[in-house]
């Protein structure tokens, strides 16, 4: 798996504007533990081919999250992937608790979206 993407895709769960709780059947803790405990790189779900082979790119959102929280990549499969992305705390979560709070409380996200669409500018 090689880092190809520099920005998180529009469906990346690491994005602050991603629909809360939409994690493909995984728990939010599955994502944060993978990074906290130096698991292999998370794949970008948009680059996983339908033929059963591995993803073609690492998740740019996960890499940016790691840069945001100053987490090093100790798993050998990362190579220099962290050097290919820049920190971005406006688009991507900075801390695990932000990611967990967001994805464990979908109702709060719905209310924020609803208030933005119903409140006058």
Give the up-direction half-sphere exposure of residue 43: CA atoms within 13 A in the CB hemisphere. Answer: 10
pLDDT of residue 8: 93
pLDDT of residue 49: 77
pLDDT of residue 75: 85
Where do we find the tokens 């609803």? 114
pLDDT of residue 47: 79
Compute the distance between CA of residue 63 and CA of residue 41 in angstroms, rounded to an integer: 8
pLDDT of residue 12: 94
Report yes or no on whether pTM surpasses 0.95: no
Q: Mean pLDDT for each consecutive 10-residue tract of the chain (121 residues)? A: 79 93 90 89 81 79 95 87 93 96 84 74 60
Q: To 10 degrees, what angle do helices 28-36 and 60-68 make?
A: 60
pLDDT of residue 76: 85
Q: What is the secondary structure of 59-119 as a DSSP string? A: -HHHHHHHHHTT----SGGGTTGGGGS---TTTB-SSHHHHHHHHH-HHHHHHHHHHHHHS
pLDDT of residue 7: 93
């Amino acid at each position: 798996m090689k880092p190809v993407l520099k920005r998180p895709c529009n469906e990346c769960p690491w994005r602050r504007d991603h629909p809360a709780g939409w994690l493909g059947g995984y728990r939010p803790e599955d994502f944060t533990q993978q990074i906290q405990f130096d698991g292999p790189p998370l794949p970008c779900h948009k680059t996983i081919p339908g033929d059963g082979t591995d993803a073609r790119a690492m998740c740019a959102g996960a890499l940016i999250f790691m840069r945001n929280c100053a987490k090093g990549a100790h798993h050998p499969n990362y190579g220099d992937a962290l050097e290919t992305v820049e920190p971005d705390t406006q688009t991507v979560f900075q801390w695990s608790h932000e990611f967990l709070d967001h994805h464990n409380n979908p109702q709060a996200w719905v209310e924020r979206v609803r208030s933005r669409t119903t409140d006058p500018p």
